[in-house]
Structure 1
Amino acid sequence: MGLVVQKFGGTSVATTEKILAAAKRAIHAKQEGHDVAVVVSARGKTTDELIGLAREIHPDPPARELDMLMASGEQVSIALLAMAIHSLGHGATSLTGVQMGIRTDSIHGKARIREISTERIRQIFADGNIAIIAGFQGADEHENIMTLGRGGSDTTGVAIAAVLEADVCEIYTDVDGIFTTDPRQVPTARKLEQISYDEMLELASAGAGVMHSRSIEFAKKYGVIIHVRNSGTDDPGTIIRPEDPVLEHVVVRGCALAKAESRVTLYGVPDEPGIVHRIFSKIAEAHVIVDMIVQNAARDGRTEVSFTVSEGDLTRTLELMREVADAIGASHVDSSSDIAKVSIVGLGMRTHTGVAERAFSVLAEQGINILAISTSDIKISMLVEQERAVAALAALHEEFRLHEPLPEVTKDIRYQLKNKALQPTSSTADRIKSIVENLPSMEDILVSGVDVDERQGRVTLYGVPDQPGVAGRIFSSIAEAGIAVDMIVQNVGSDEATHLTFTTLRGDLEPAAAKAQAALGEANGQVVCDSTMAKIAVRGVGMRSHVGVALRIFRALSSAGVNINLINTSELHITVVVDQADASNARRALSEAFGLELAES
């Protein structure tokens, strides 16, 4: 006998017919010999309606009472689904998050799961019944009802699958699976058969809306296999799974667009230890999630620091940053809400060169200007003008031929699930398990290592014309010379010019700089090389979505007197560039900050 967790989104239980269909799916899984737990969202647009009702009563509803209200939507769903299963002649027991034993922290509207008790649900299984659990909710240590925020029911489903060590967590939704991009924006988008945790994490954080990144964090940490399926069909969907060599031959797996982004830039920031920590400590205190963080190489002792937040957090963030700018002596603060982030993601980027050059060039061909660039080993993100965002997404999708079927087809998903062929290797699973067992709570950040690379040098181009095609020209020239580029950082420009920095192996530093200088042509850009840098990457899961992680990194480096020269972020790494003389000190400070002394020694 196996164990299956099924999660049904709001559209999958919006009508009585759909509730009955969900009940039949749960019963079918039970009849196949599985214990079955079903996690359910509020029906249809219930949550939005409840929020609207609250704001009719109070313009800024108290957070505690808003959570109490919103949690009622899932309670309706679980009761109706349990009734539907009973009407079909089978047993079911519904549980709210509190009854299930889901314990959270005390941040209303954005609570994180600390622990989940399995005693009640295992008794339901022992009685031969199906367990129906309310998603999106739990309770803190004071018995206050807490909601988990966006994607909370997905998070609940995967978290329950983790504590129960389920064979699979089936996520039922109104789409057929995970697509190469949003088919509503790009009609040629293709359904993926499978995707790795890391690719899905990066796509989710980049704007792909089918799965929330928090649920993928759980899956990776606890080795949960996720099957995203359409609740209206019996067709296989998309498997989200551990990395496997079969996935690495695809250079770009998908692309994503995040439109509801706002950019904040601090200009004239003093280039000295501790400054970045002071900036982001204010943001962390306000529990604002920061997305992209980009810091330029300094010039004349000053630099620019940019980051993106959701549009809803912009007003509060600007208030905080104006206070910070005055305190640290920055020249001024600027912001923009007419931007969007487009990203490409793929495991194959680790081993294939020229991907960035192709991305920049195709946007140039469309006349789309790149406002900022941030890269990781499997992701390239670019800020563009919002009105050109969909065109940018479509151009990237076409350039990397994401509409074409993959040349290699893996074994049928049902076969892989039945034979547990998707589980991580024992060594990988054991390593992650040893780290997870020491986490104070289930949803704490998993930091697995601090990597130091002292083989690279840095090329910085000052005064680069802020216009379409420049980045493409530069990196095409470098790629043609057979030079591999690692980090690429471009911040928001000013006075119609910007700064562009990239890293490459030190042996390629001078040739790369020469190629970049030649590509600038008659532009009045200045190219500077630095061969005395070290790249420090803090590796983990959910590095971006946990508000305090970047802050802990910046605090540790500040306390150690280490100045940060560049910053680059993703879901899997937060990377900083420091002086090579500070590398050992930085590594020691970061290892201590995340309790990795033994793991890293």
Structure 2
Amino acid sequence: MSLIVQKFGGTSVADAEKIRAAARRALRAQQQGAQVVMVVSAMGKQTDVLVDLAGQVCDDPPAREMDMLLSTGEQVSVALMAMAIHDLGGKAVSLTGAQMEIRTDSAHGKARIHSIGADRIRAHLDAGRIVIAAGFQGIDVDLNITTLGRGGSDTTAVALAAVLGAEACEIYTDVDGVFTTDPRIEPAARKMDCVSHDEMLELASLGAGVMHSRSIEFGKKFNVPIHVRNSGVFTDVPGTIIGPLSESADRAVSGAALTKNEAQLTVAGVPDKPGVSLALLESLAAANISVDMIVQNRGADSLADISFTVLDTDLPAARAATKKAAEMIGAREVRQGDPVSKVSVVGLGMASQPGVARRMFRALASAGINIHAITTSEIKVSCLVAREQGQEALRVVHREFELHIPPATVATIADSLAAAKEAKVADADAVIARLQGMEELRIDGCDLDTTQALLTLRNVPDKPGIAAEIFEAIAHRGVLVDLIVQSIGQDGLTTVGLTVPQNDIAESQKLVAEIAARFGGEVTAEPNVAILSVTGVGVRSHTGVGTRIFRALSGAGINVELIGTSEVKVSVVIAGEHAAKALTATEEAFADVIG
């Protein structure tokens, strides 16, 4: 008998009528022959109401007691849902996180799942009951109630689907599926039938509001197809499958996203030597702060700048942690930049179709939008822009890549479900072993590219069109740029670092120098560098990944010249002569989590 997990968010259970509608959906699935687990969020704005009540009682509520309070919202929902199913003639049982043995760490407010006990759930399913599971919550080793933070119910649902071996995890929400971008900002946004786990991981981390990145991490790790559907009573839109397949292999870009509320910090005048990045990241990790974009360009006069972004909500804690680290490493100052937004394009096709960054930079420049910082990966290009230009920047790149037009060849929902089912033929013992540490860090591997050279452009005017001009000139000569990092500007100037194949360094340096000369900039080249990358699901959301990398390199006496990050990869540029030693040190640092 097949098993499905259905998750209903707060807007889908906001009142009695919607609860009964969700109950009918679950009963219909059971009547069609499936065992059903429902994961339910708190009703409507109930969580906000509870947070407000806590604020009225106490200025600074203890984190443990906030978890105790907030978990009650889901308990109300699951009990009401079970009552509705009973009233409609079905059999159901409601279970809290503790009753499902969802074991987490003790990070109140953003706990991570360690394991889930499936025996009780399976017993109820085998008895013909629909299991109504409280989302968003678990218990730690001391039996304290914990909550999973943003997107916690999505995380609960996909985690249960992984543990139970579900055919799919259906996420019912108030939208029709996953769109090429936010339709509230760009009316021409188009619903996709399929999007890959890898693409959705990047899109979710970039602010696409349909799913939280942690739930996509589970889907990727355990090959769970996630079916996003509209919970409306009168809609039968097929939705979108987040699974192994991209919508189309023919397109370089599948979607665009905007993270509206980013704050930027720069540690200026950092000694350009081993260990300084480590001190900064250790301080941020100790404060449990996830860094979003982090860029470090090669230093001048033995000094470098390290810039990074965090969400606005994390800014006060991040600023305090950064100032502490800056004092330790002897940095000149810590600067807080103007409010920014991050616009990004994502697509599996970028790995085989060059020119995406160049097109994006030119489109933004033509719209008069200045780029404050750049990071890239194989399937993503991200640019920081002024916050007031963020929404226009998203519309510009969506139009540039014609995402409103369906691709010529499209993978269907059935194709993605079939591919996921085929991929599930795996070693059952290995899957069970991995489930014991569900949200623990797992690294796919450490990779080394020793074919690269590094160009650094300093004192480049921080204005629209500069990045586009640089990369158009290089692309015109057929040179493939791998890593691109543009630092956050200061005093109207910025620094751009890029890696190109070693065989192309002489021609690339000449081209870039001609451009830089027109603006009074300067270019330096290092013909032999290596790009060291650590790849794995959740490397950005696990705050200790960067710390491990930089501790390993610092211990080996290796300096970092350039940093680039994405949701699934952290890359650093180092001197080519240290490549083998750096790889060995990094593999040893991650030996316990590789595989």
Report the TM range for the smaller structure's normalisation: over 0.9
> How many Å separate the matches in 1 of 2:354 and 2:462?
25
- Change over 3 Å in CA distance of 1:135–1:468 after alignment to 2: same
Work out whether residues 247 and 347 of structure 1, in 8 Å CA contact, stay in contact via their aligned partners in 2: no
Report the secondary structure of 2:131's partner residue.
strand
* 2:243 pairs with one of 236, 241, 244: 241
Q: Quick check: 1:201 aligned with 2:201? A: yes
The within-5 A match list for 1:110-259 is 110-232=110-232, 233-243=235-245, 247-259=248-260
Q: Quick check: 1:546 aligned with 2:539? A: no
1:514: Cα distance to partner? 1.8
- Change over 3 Å in CA distance of 1:112–1:464 after alignment to 2: same
Aligned to 2:516: 520
> How many Å separate the matches in 1 of 2:3 and 2:338?
46
Aligned to 1:485: 481
* 1:446 pairs with one of 442, 446, 459: 442
- Change over 3 Å in CA distance of 1:183–1:483 after alignment to 2: same
- Change over 3 Å in CA distance of 1:528–1:179 after alignment to 2: same
Stretches of structure 2 lacking an aligned partner (at least 5 in a row): none
> How many Å separate the matches in 2 of 1:143 and 1:111?
13
Deviations 1:181-207 (A, max 9, x none): 100011110001100111000011111
Aligned to 1:562: 558
Aligned to 2:392: 391
> How many Å separate the matches in 1 of 2:475 and 2:74?
53
What is the percentage of aligned positions where both structures have the same residue? 52
Work out whether residues 486 and 494 of structure 2, in 8 Å CA contact, stay in contact via their aligned partners in 1: yes
Q: Quick check: 1:317 aligned with 2:318? A: yes
Work out whether residues 373 and 486 of structure 2, in 8 Å CA contact, stay in contact via their aligned partners in 1: yes
Divergent runs of 4+, >2 A: 413-417, 420-427, 432-440, 517-521, 596-599
> How many Å separate the matches in 1 of 2:405 and 2:533?
34
1:389 corresponds to which letter in structure 2?
Answer: G
1:346 corresponds to which letter in structure 2?
Answer: G
> How many Å separate the matches in 2 of 1:525 and 1:424?
54
1:42: Cα distance to partner? 0.4
Aligned to 1:47: 47
> How many Å separate the matches in 2 of 1:49 and 1:337?
32
Q: Quick check: 1:460 aligned with 2:452? A: no
* 2:568 pairs with one of 572, 581, 595: 572
The within-5 A match list for 1:299-314 is 299-314=300-315
> How many Å separate the matches in 2 of 1:235 and 1:401?
23
> How many Å separate the matches in 2 of 1:569 and 1:364?
24
Of stretches 316-325 and 85-94 in structure 1, the one that deviates more from structure 2 is 316-325
Report the secondary structure of 1:252's partner residue.
coil
Aligned to 1:422: 420
- Change over 3 Å in CA distance of 1:510–1:336 after alignment to 2: same
1:512: Cα distance to partner? 1.5
Work out whether residues 254 and 346 of structure 2, in 8 Å CA contact, stay in contact via their aligned partners in 1: yes
- Change over 3 Å in CA distance of 1:597–1:153 after alignment to 2: closer
> How many Å separate the matches in 1 of 2:253 and 2:422?
22
Deviations 1:198-221 (A, max 9, x none): 100001111111100000000110
> How many Å separate the matches in 1 of 2:593 and 2:146?
35
Report the secondary structure of 1:541's partner residue.
coil
Deviations 1:375-412 (A, max 9, x none): 0000001000000011100000000000111212334x
Aligned to 1:68: 68
1:585: Cα distance to partner? 1.3
> How many Å separate the matches in 1 of 2:28 and 2:407?
32
Deviations 1:466-501 (A, max 9, x none): 100000111111111111111000001112111101
1:416: Cα distance to partner? 5.7
1:146: Cα distance to partner? 0.1
Report the secondary structure of 1:531's partner residue.
strand
- Change over 3 Å in CA distance of 1:598–1:184 after alignment to 2: closer
Work out whether residues 250 and 409 of structure 2, in 8 Å CA contact, stay in contact via their aligned partners in 1: no
1:296: Cα distance to partner? 0.7
Deviations 1:495-530 (A, max 9, x none): 211110111111111111222222335211111111
Work out whether residues 221 and 433 of structure 1, in 8 Å CA contact, stay in contact via their aligned partners in 2: no
1:572 corresponds to which letter in structure 2?
Answer: V
1:572: Cα distance to partner? 1.1
> How many Å separate the matches in 2 of 1:438 and 1:111?
18
2:298 corresponds to which letter in structure 1?
Answer: A
Deviations 1:88-127 (A, max 9, x none): 0000000011111100000000100000000110110111
Work out whether residues 256 and 344 of structure 1, in 8 Å CA contact, stay in contact via their aligned partners in 2: yes
Report the secondary structure of 1:388's partner residue.
helix
1:593: Cα distance to partner? 1.3
> How many Å separate the matches in 1 of 2:262 and 2:30?
43
Work out whether residues 560 and 585 of structure 1, in 8 Å CA contact, stay in contact via their aligned partners in 2: yes
> How many Å separate the matches in 1 of 2:236 and 2:173?
12
- Change over 3 Å in CA distance of 1:416–1:444 after alignment to 2: closer
- Change over 3 Å in CA distance of 1:426–1:64 after alignment to 2: closer
Stretches of structure 1 lacking an aligned partner (at least 5 in a row): none
Q: Quick check: 1:347 aligned with 2:348? A: yes
> How many Å separate the matches in 1 of 2:568 and 2:429?
18
1:421: Cα distance to partner? 3.6
> Alignment RMSD, CA only?
1.7
> How many Å separate the matches in 1 of 2:535 and 2:432?
14
Aligned to 2:371: 370
1:582: Cα distance to partner? 1.3
Report the secondary structure of 1:208's partner residue.
coil
> How many Å separate the matches in 2 of 1:198 and 1:438?
19
1:235: Cα distance to partner? 1.7
> How many Å separate the matches in 1 of 2:449 and 2:309?
27
Task: Kindly tell me the number of residue pairs found equivalent between the two proteins.
Answer: 593
Deviations 1:216-268 (A, max 9, x none): 00011011010000001222101001146x74322101010001211110000
> How many Å separate the matches in 2 of 1:547 and 1:56?
32
The within-5 A match list for 1:54-93 is 54-93=54-93
Report the secondary structure of 1:455's partner residue.
strand
2:212 corresponds to which letter in structure 1?
Answer: H
Work out whether residues 342 and 384 of structure 2, in 8 Å CA contact, stay in contact via their aligned partners in 1: yes
Work out whether residues 78 and 95 of structure 1, in 8 Å CA contact, stay in contact via their aligned partners in 2: yes
